[in-house]
A = this chain, B = another copy of it.
Amino acid sequence: MELRPADSSSGWRRTAYSVIFEADTPAGRAFDVALLWAILLSVLAVMLESVRSINATYGQLLRAIEWFFTGIFLIEYLARLMVVRRPLSYALSLLGVIDFLAIVPTLLSLVIVGSQYLLVIRTLRLLRVFRIFKLGHFVGEGEFIVDALKASRFKIMVFLTAVVTIVIIVGTLMYVIEGGNNGFTSIPQSIYWAIVTVTTVGYGDISPVTMLGRTLASALMIMGYAIIAVPTGIVSAQMASASRPAAQPPAFKQVVCHVCQAGEHRPDAEFCWRCGEHL
């Protein structure tokens, strides 16, 4: 979706648009850099507020900072709505929704205690700031990764379906084997354990104790070991083939025989291969 300035004739709107939405001018770049810092600092403030000892001493200050940045982001949001040609399109776009969600939690925290922590969603606003680096390599490389993942999405979905099936069945078997003890208190818990195991995370908050359980767990782990090769192989192969130059398309003469309509002649052909007519 291309957003355009609200009114192409009005001077100040055009300028404001280029500053707020674009990064080609020095002012636009400065705006984006300021935004980057505002996002990082406000997210940092939210994080620090959640630390009890810091909250006890600097809570007042941190909440003030939160409101300060929320105010700034609110003004920025309203400014965006004002200078853009179609405010509704912007408000409903992905970035627009994120901009909005970056303001709401502070207001919400007046009603629901703790909801201000959701302000970390502001981190997603960094997506917007990546425009600053648009001319650099980042966007291109990011697109390369996203493209590789997109091209592999069916393979990855098939793979994830297989993993889900395995963890459901192994988790249930484990629940039956360990008999509801040792943390395997229900099938969902056992499935959680199976996921922790097959992904090789291995917290150890739940772990099998019986001989049979450990044998099954060993099988699952070795299977997980082999399984992890699959997504890696998928993405590696995809990226390797993407970075390889495409096999050049067959180079044929852009001409069709006027007698038999045959195409696909050699580039240097003078006569039709099918009917022998001069091309």
Contact = CB atoms under 8 A, between A and B. Distances in A.
Given A137-B154, A187-B50, A269-B273, A228 B225 contact: yes
Contacts of A138: 154, 157-158
Contacts of A226: 156, 160, 231
A205 B156 CA distance: 31
Interface in A222-279: 222, 224-226, 228-245, 247, 264-266, 268-278
Contact of A229 (B117, B189, B232): B232
Interface in A198-239: 199-205, 207, 211, 214-215, 217-218, 221-222, 224-226, 228-239
A33 interface: no
Contact of A155 (B144, B172, B201): B144
A276 B274 contact: no
Contact of A158 (B145, B189, B204): B145
A243 B233 contact: no
Contacts of A239: 233-234, 236-237
Contact of A199 (B144, B225, B237, B265): B225
A52 B49 CA distance: 37
B165 A126 contact: yes
Copies of this chain, how many? 4
A134 B211 CA distance: 35
Interface SS, A side: helix
A211 to B, nearest CB: 7
Interface residues of A, number: 100
A207 B192 CA distance: 12
A156 B226 CA distance: 8
A47 B276 contact: no
Contacts of A272: 271, 276
A51 interface: yes
A3 interface: no
A148 B204 contact: no
Interface string A99-139: 00000000000000010011011011010000000001110
A226 B230 CA distance: 10
Shortest beta-carbon contacts, A-B, top 9:
A271-B276, A233-B235, A203-B204, A201-B202, A269-B273, A237-B239, A204-B204, A50-B187, A229-B231
18 contacts: A46-B187, A117-B176, A138-B157, A145-B155, A148-B233, A195-B221, A196-B221, A199-B221, A199-B225, A201-B224, A233-B235, A233-B239, A236-B236, A237-B242, A240-B240, A241-B243, A272-B276, A276-B278
